[in-house]
Structure 1
Amino acid sequence: MIRLTDFLAVPDPGSTKLKFNMRAGGGGGEAWDLLLDDSEEWLNMSRYRSAQTNNNMGDSRYLLAFAQYYPYGPNYFIFGGFFKVTPVVPAIIKGYGYELELQQLHSEFIKRLIVKLERPIGRNVYLRRYESVQQQLSPEVYELAPDTKLGTFPGYQNVRLRHAELQRIIANDEPSWKDALSSVKGVYVITDLSDGRLYVGSASGEANGLWQRWSGYAHLKNLTGGNHELERMRSELGDSHIVGNFQYSILEIFDPKTKAETILQRESFWKQALDSRAHGMNKN
């Protein structure tokens, strides 16, 4: 067993706290989802200063932040960064009372390092001092992933993948994603985040549905799925433009037994609805 404090050494143990974030208040979402998206709400979970002394940073100058990694279970947490803590002056209670500045120390482990606590914790013990956390919660290093961990499949209506994320999902045969995308055909949209233009496509005849179709986009030797307009963009702007700017989402899903003509009709509808022929990347 590798103890957490042996793995994540800090320059000032007596002035460092650890926060095990679980869920944002007011239905704001799971901590891991917010960290994965680099959401501002992720930082706000640790910036908040309550009226209870034991839920505040106190005199701590540094913070190790973690997010509950729910795909593994309630006592698993993934590392979210080492921060310098500066209290807001004048003091704010029941609001964002701290400024957090991300430090380079241990930054290579963000979204990769997963620790396991001896048992699940309640909201009254989610903030702990570095010097006593090992005795109180027995955190141990459980996994150090070779790359950023990905969340489980979030549901067809919530898919929003950057190209690098799509590549990792396909390359690693991520089980929940492969099962979900292989079991449906569908209409999807690719967004060029550099200018907002859209490309609407479909998986209408592939045996493995959206998984097979999107696998074509994920490989560096293809990137365009054979689409002529996307291939033109690639030749003009280079692979880096696609990898750096393309985002993939699902517009509509269909049972695998659905006829190809039906799906192609819906693809045409979405091209009209989103005006992706005149102002997007569709040319047919």
Structure 2
Amino acid sequence: MIKLNQIMPIDCPSNYKMHIAKYNGNTNPLDDFIENFDYWVGWNTWRSEKTNRFTRRYVISFIDFYPQKGTFLFGGIFEILNTYPDHYDIRLCDEYKDFIGRLKVKNINTPRGSAFFFENYYDVIEVVEVLDKSYSSHIFPGYEQIDFPFATIKTIINRNPQDWKSALESIKGIYMLTDTENGKRYIGSAYGDCGIWSRWSQYCSNGHGGNKELCALVEQKGYDYVEKNFKFTLLEIHPMFTSDETIILRESFWKEVMMSRNKKFGYNSN
């Protein structure tokens, strides 16, 4: 076990607040960090008009690394230059700058909230690993581990990473879209010449992929609702030579299992 204080010595932890950035109901900070570092900086400049969360000179920030539960990615140390009712003026410090996006830690057991007294956690935080370069894309986790928010899959589709694209464009399969707001599910499939990558690209483009019930949902609540509340789960995969009939039968099986044809539980209309 290697502790954070062994590789990141800080003379006076009581001069720091610790910022734990997690999903805010709209976006994940890790996705913003990957997309554009300035977006990530914005997570540290934001201030609620009701709460002054950064009450010390420095803030050490960590990003929820949600592909690995309980793991956080170091996002930098910031100096608070000025405090305003709705934002902070900050400066990215040079200290430990080389660890940004590379240092992964765990054992940060905080209550609800996003800002904490750093000295209460400094001596117990453990190092998971130090990456050889800054984390710049969600590495393909394997077919059986795909259970990601809609916004994350959209980011991946837009970035077009070769590991994800190669893995998903060459398979047929069954997948599930889950509305995390109400628990309803939609079971879909990719067959014919359409691999999972192509099929999911359609959803990321318009939010509904041409499906009747999802079209109605997007028309009623908008694309933003789907992007905010839906997630993708890959249920099973098949090689491209698998017959379309087999895929359709497996899709029907999962619709029965998940009861997604029942309007109370799902969005499948047939």
**TM-score band, normalised by shorter chain:** 0.5 to 0.7
Shift of 1:201: 0.2
Q: Does 1:238 align with 2:267?
A: no
Give the counterpart of 1:272 among 238, 244, 256: 256
Give the counterpart of 1:250 among 234, 237, 244: 234
- TM-score w.r.t. the length of structure 1 is 0.54
Q: Does 1:214 align with 2:200?
A: yes
Give the counterpart of 2:120 among 74, 79, 87: 87
Give the counterpart of 1:200 among 176, 187, 197: 187
Secondary structure of the equivalent of 1:196?
A: coil
Q: Could you tell me which amino acid in structure 1 is paired with residue 216 of structure 2?
A: R
Structure 1 stretches of at least 4 aligned residues deviating more than 6 Å after TM superposition: 63-69, 78-83
Identical residues among aligned pairs (%): 32
Question: What CA RMSD, in Å, does the superposition of the two structures yield over aligned residues?
Answer: 4.1
Give the counterpart of 2:211 among 217, 223, 227: 227
Give the counterpart of 1:14 among 11, 15, 31: 11
- Rg (Cα) greater in structure: 1
What is aligned with 2:268?
A: 282
Q: Distance in 2 between matches of 1:38 and 1:255?
A: 26
Q: Distance in 1 between matches of 2:222 and 2:215?
A: 10
What is aligned with 1:152?
A: 139
Q: Distance in 1 between matches of 2:231 and 2:68?
A: 17
Q: Distance in 1 between matches of 2:251 and 2:162?
A: 27
What is aligned with 2:172?
A: 185
**8 Å CA contact retained: 2:71, 2:104:** no
Secondary structure of the equivalent of 2:164?
A: helix
Shift of 1:77: 3.5
Secondary structure of the equivalent of 2:70?
A: helix
List alignment gaps of at least 5 residues for structure 1: 1-11, 18-33, 44-62, 70-75, 89-95, 101-122, 128-136
Q: Does 1:172 align with 2:201?
A: no
Task: List per-residue Cα deviations over 1:42-95 (Å, max 9, x = no partner).
Answer: 36xxxxxxxxxxxxxxxxxxx9799897xxxxxx5469999741338xxxxxxx
Shift of 1:175: 1.3
Q: Distance in 1 between matches of 2:235 and 2:97?
A: 35
Relative to structure 1, the CA distance from residue 14 to residue 86 in structure 2 (aligned partners, 3 Å threshold; closer, same or farther) is closer
How many residue pairs end up in the alignment?
183
**8 Å CA contact retained: 1:199, 1:281:** yes
Relative to structure 1, the CA distance from residue 14 to residue 159 in structure 2 (aligned partners, 3 Å threshold; closer, same or farther) is same
List alignment gaps of at least 5 residues for structure 2: 1-8, 17-62, 73-94, 107-113
Secondary structure of the equivalent of 2:119?
A: strand
Q: Distance in 2 between matches of 1:66 and 1:266?
A: 48
